[in-house]
Structure 1
Amino acid sequence: MSSGVDAVVTPRGVVDLRGVGGAEFAVAYPDGAVVVVSGLPGAGKSTLLRRWSGPQPGAVAPRTVDPRTVHEACEAVMPASLPYAVYRPWARLEHFRLLRASVRRGGPLLVHDCGSRAWMRRWLAREAARRGRELHLVLLDVGAATALDGQRARGRHASARVFARHRHGLERLLAAFTRHLRTGGPSPAPEAASVLLLDGASRSRARAVRFGTGPVGAAMGSSRQGS
């Protein structure tokens, strides 16, 4: 872990770091946690996952499951003239098979997901719980304009229809979390042991992840948290 990390966040319940300044920090989860990183296409999920999936001193690096990897593998064996829409169901089935196998295999796991599908989170939570593991959610709230800029920068674009569907689902979920933090009541994602809300600035400051117990740095307390 980088020596530049000065603080640690150990999320439980809902932890909101949007608009919270401070130093770079690490995020600590229990052994074997399944951590789903969610947000709009272009929000920076892949960048965050690459940063978090590197080797960890004295620990096993987390595995990462990204649907893009399966998409590209399927694309490589299909005729170039065949539209992705034709074999999308097969690619999705392969992604779910890989995801289920990765959860069953054990060890820390990072999952790239849009986050707008409650059934997906519930399924992952059940699969993890059967093996004594927790599901945790990281939700990137960067706004549609920033996400579209991110798509342009990476040279890969979600269709307007897909982007609109994800945007609608995520905006509803983020609004529900904002209400939860303001008024209390049940979490909008009760299947997750924790939900970490990050904006563009706090996403950039989340420099590392670690799994298991033990000190990482000074505890970071300037966050809004709900049960």
Structure 2
Amino acid sequence: MSVNRTTAYATTSAAALPAQPAGPACEVCRDRPAPVVRDLRERPGRGPRALLFGPRDVVVVTGLPGSGKSTLMRRAVRGARVDSQDTRDTWDARLGHRLPYAVYRPLVRLAHYAALARALRGDGGVVVHDCGTQSWVRGWLARAARRRGGTLHLLLLDVTPDTALSGQRERGRGVSRYAFLRHRGAAARLIRAVERGDLPAGAGSAVLLDRDAADALRGIGFTGRSQAAPHRLA
């Protein structure tokens, strides 16, 4: 296991280079003998502008409700994305004026997982929104990534609870205090484990992002090359 708190990144993308402690360009993200952790927190203005993964990889974006997962995905993802927030928005438009969300929440979850299953049947890279409290989902995604010849990667948004609550207020939608505490505990445990270099089973890499690093990202995409080509973190 390698934990790399890189000290310097270029402010623009550049050509691929071999992995190294610090560099101004793309770094290898797959085809390593052990999972890798990249810590991109606490370096305002010096984070990468793009993350590039292998053509069949599955990338999971996780963090507290209100941390900015959906905002990041909508802005940066280049390729297939499956966001549970999009699914909820669709059902809210249909039923939200007639029923409380708790009534049709199971339908939203079923629709989200059905969309995810459809995306995973394809052979291109997929970016997935994950709330972080359902560990079985990550296990499913890891197995699906292996079956399609790819790897599971984690993007973890590490923001303070106050920042996440502010994000919920800004979007005009929040979760209950109980649910938020549950999310908070799960996110904290996952981040602590990743900081130790202990990734969830099946994950090939993890990237830790604070708000500055997430805001700097303008692209999350996948290579179009064959499976034998390098898989890069740009």
Q: Same fold (TM over 0.5)?
A: yes
- The answer for the alignment partner of 1:14 in structure 2 is 37
> Per-residue CA shift, 1:160-199, capped at 9, x if unaligned?
222111111001111122233xxxxxx2313111110111
- Pairwise CA RMSD of aligned residues? 2.5
Alignment of 1:105-184 (within 5 A): 105-180=122-197
Matched, 1:189 2:200: yes
CA contact (8 A) 1:37 1:138 kept: yes
SS at match of 1:69: helix
CA contact (8 A) 1:5 1:23 kept: no
Matches of 1:167 and 1:9, distance apart in 2: 31
Matches of 1:9 and 1:202, distance apart in 2: 16
Q: Offset of 1:14 from its aligned partner?
A: 1.3
CA contact (8 A) 1:5 1:207 kept: no
- The answer for the alignment partner of 1:90 in structure 2 is 107
Any stretches of 5+ residues in structure 1 without a counterpart?
Answer: 54-60, 181-186, 221-227
TM-score by length of 2: 0.77
Matches of 2:48 and 2:193, distance apart in 1: 27
- The answer for the alignment partner of 2:56 in structure 1 is 32
Greater relative CO (CA pairs within 8 A, separation 6+): 1
Q: Offset of 1:158 from its aligned partner?
A: 1.9
Q: Offset of 1:115 from its aligned partner?
A: 2.1
In structure 2, relative to structure 1, the CA distance for the partners of 1:155 and 1:74 (3 Å cut) is closer
Percent identical among aligned pairs is: 43
In structure 2, relative to structure 1, the CA distance for the partners of 1:170 and 1:41 (3 Å cut) is same
Q: Offset of 1:72 from its aligned partner?
A: 2.4
CA contact (8 A) 1:10 1:28 kept: no
TM-score by length of 1: 0.80
> Per-residue CA shift, 1:177-226, capped at 9, x if unaligned?
2233xxxxxx23131111101111211222222311589x9x87xxxxxx
